[in-house]
Structure 1
Amino acid sequence: MSNINIPLSVLNLVPIRKGEGAKEAIDSMVELAQATEQLGYERYWIAEHHNTSTLVSSATTMLMKHTLEHTEKIRVGSGGVMLPNHSPLIV
């Protein structure tokens, strides 16, 4: 039997849970990224969503930067890009 190494990733919508606010959602985002990294996952994606009061993921570049500041080696990226919200240079 051979060992197959399948790279694993996590996608986070950065939800605001009942009774919590944006700060707690961002803190939970970082905690999940750190746990994901410790478990050996390769990538951590943050989904981009706009105009919803239950998600804190409209500024993915800021959330990615914050996540990278609190992790060591996991790759962090945007799990989706809303094309109308960005200039061609960003896309």
Structure 2
Amino acid sequence: MSRDMVLMTIACPEGEPGLDRAAELLGVPAAEMDKGFGVVVLDPQKGLYAVQVHETAISQRPTADTGGQAVKAHSPTRASSRSGRRGSRQVAIE
């Protein structure tokens, strides 16, 4: 059974994070990250990266370590992700 994934945008000014650091920034277990999707560079000058996380992990997470940044959810999209999953929802940390 496949689980829905959420596309998350993270800010990591210290450089490209690994999946463990991305999970820490989002406040979710590293096991909930989509390892096949990995960490995608969006804007290296601004330190912006994208990851996919199991939707249930996002809904059950404690307050994320966002460095005082707001977490903003966008409406679900139906576009396929790089890993071939559908129904991802984009969430941006600003």
Give TM-score scaled by structure 1 length: 0.30
Q: For CA contacts below 8 A with separation 6 or more, give which structure has more relative contact order.
A: 2
Bigger share in helix = 1
CA radius of gyration, larger in: 1
Give TM-score scaled by structure 2 length: 0.29
